[in-house]
Amino acid sequence: SRRKYAQKLDYRNIPNKYFCKSEIEDEIQTDIYQATLLHKEFAQALNVVILVKTNLKNNACSHVTLFSSDLDLSFDKIIDYYKLRFQIEFNFRDAKQFWGLEDFMNLSQTAVTNAANLAFFMVNLSHHLLADFRKHNPDSGIIDLKAYYRGFRYVREMLKILPQKPEPILLAQIFAKLTSLGRIHPLSTGVEAS
């Protein structure tokens, strides 16, 4: 049979026919190459993108190899998809950890779709709310945000049963104390009762 594999790819001497683009940022030169290559672990050819990074100060070199089974993807699309991959994983983690994606017990297709959509909607909404929340509480995370809104709801419900509204200073202390219960990071601003 005909020989299928050539020599292994040498990252220091990639042929110029695979060269796509070069860019320099912060004294790091990034050369991008793209080729269709074979690997013994995969049944089909792979669309391989190689980023060779060279520090222009000390000539230290490193490389990153990205690949796809879609042979028609351009190098910039593959790079973009790999950048998005980690954000997608973080979104799944948040949906499972904070918004019930891991815990729902639905069997019908519609119920599963609704539960998954609700969990991812809450991921998006919480990230939007967290961006504003971090302006005053920069170290806060989702648990802090949930604790704040849960405490806020408790205060509103408590105020409904009181015969009269407390003085503004006391009310501010109550809000600060109840909205900080369950937080991981302390409030940066606002009044906290001792």
The band of 176, judged by pLDDT with boundaries at 50, 70 and 90, is confident
Reduce the DSSP state of residue 189 to 3 states and report it.
Answer: coil
Task: State the pLDDT at residue 40.
Answer: 82
Task: State the pLDDT at residue 192.
Answer: 42
Helix (H) or strand (E) holding 24: strand 19-25
Helix (H) or strand (E) holding 56: none
Task: State the pLDDT at residue 43.
Answer: 82
Owner of token pair 């490193």 = 62
Burial class (CB in 10 A: 0-12, 13-18, 19+), 164: exposed
Q: Give the count of beta carbons closer than 10 Å to the beta carbon of residue 140.
A: 20
φ, ψ of residue 62 to 5 degrees: the values are: -145, 165
Q: What is the mean pLDDT of residues 68-78?
A: 93
Please give the single-letter amino acid code of residue 69. Answer: S
- Tens of pLDDT, residue by residue over 6-19, are 678 787 788 899 99
46 neighbors 69 (Cβ within 8 angstroms)? yes
- Tens of pLDDT, residue by residue over 18-27, are 999 999 999 9
Would you give the end-to-end CA distance of the chain in angstroms? 82
